[in-house]
Amino acid sequence: MLLAVDVGNTDTVFGLYQFGNWEHIWRTRSLVQENEVHYESKLRLHFLEAGLWFGDVETVVLCSVVPALTPVIQRMLRTMFGEDIIVVGPEIYPALSIEIDHPHEIGADLIANAVAVSNRYKENCVVVDFGTALTFTTVSKESKILGVAILPGLVTAVKALFANTAQLPEVPLQLPATAIGKNTTEAIQAGILLGYEGLVKSLLARIRAELGGECIAVATGGLSSIIETLQDEFVEIDRKLTLDGLRIIGESLQA
């Protein structure tokens, strides 16, 4: 079995892969104030409820974009599975080159996403990750990360609006029927969701133009299906893309 761990700003995701499938995927909140005992107890409970044994895990791959949590999760994983933990960084997967100014600045999750699409598709591709941040990672058909665009994610944008305005409520992320909101909730939904729809289309169009027009797009992240009108922009929407990249990295290093 292979265990992939993706530590994000909002959630930490544990994925257990065997027999060619993600047999189990568990999520827990990424809480920087908690220690390794907290995360170990949650993972032990997941294994117990699934009838699994820690000793059956042969490979553990970790990526993290939360520096304060990275050593905490590392210690927890080493306690449970031994010292041989694969931690994803810019030099971990030589088949993918990172053609940006400062490779160590790129998020480990974006590296995993790029590894997944470079193995799945042999053409120019943009990975649009709808998470706490909304990221666009451009990968060439030669398996090179060409660059990234980053902006606040949908929930982050709504929370920022709610936190910094006295009279605006927090609203559900539901696509409105019209751009002309008739009440406060509809107005925020129109501004955020329809605004992001235009933003995503505009950035994808610009990236494609800079690559000469030949570029597909793949969506991932927990909110990748929220804006239904964007689905035609993507050849695939895969919420397990990051985990799959971690799997490919783990399998390549254990081969």
Whether 2-87 shares its CATH topology with 97-244 is answered yes
- 164 annotated ligand binder: no
- Tell me whether residue 198 is annotated as binding: no
Burial classification of residue 78, based on how many CB atoms lie within 10 Å of its CB (0-12 exposed, 13-18 middle, 19 or more buried): middle
Residue 209 has a CB neighbour count (10 Å cut-off) of 10
3-class DSSP assignment, residue 160: helix
What does residue 91 show for φ and ψ, rounded to 5 degrees? Answer: -105, 10
Q: Does 6 count as an annotated binding residue?
A: yes
158 is in an annotated binding site: no
CA distance 179 to 163: 23
Q: Is 110 flagged in the annotation as binding?
A: yes
**Would you list the domain boundaries of the chain?**
2-87, 97-244
Largest CA distance in the chain: 59
Residue 219 pLDDT greater than 80, yes or no: yes
Convert the pLDDT of each residue in 189-200 to its tens digit: 899 999 999 999
pLDDT band at 166 (very low <50, low <70, confident <90, very high): low
pLDDT digits (tens, 9 = 90+) for 55-68: 999 999 999 999 99
One CATH from 3.40.50.11400, 3.40.50.300, 3.30.420.40, 3.40.50.150 for 97-244: 3.30.420.40
Cα gap 39→28, rounded to integer Å: 8
Instruction: Give catalytic residues, as residue numbers.
Output: 109
242 assigned ligand-binding residue: no
Q: How confident is the model at residue 161 (pLDDT cuts 50, 70, 90)?
A: confident
Q: What mean pLDDT do residues 133-144 have?
A: 97
Given the candidates 3.40.50.300, 3.30.420.40, 3.40.50.150, 3.30.200.20, the CATH classification of the domain at 2-87 is: 3.30.420.40
Mean pLDDT of the chain: 93
pLDDT confidence of residue 93: 92
User: What three-state secondary structure class fits 188?
Assistant: helix
Inter-residue contact 243 to 15 (CB < 8 Å): yes
pLDDT value of residue 159? 82
pTM of the model: 0.92
pLDDT at position 255, please?
Answer: 60
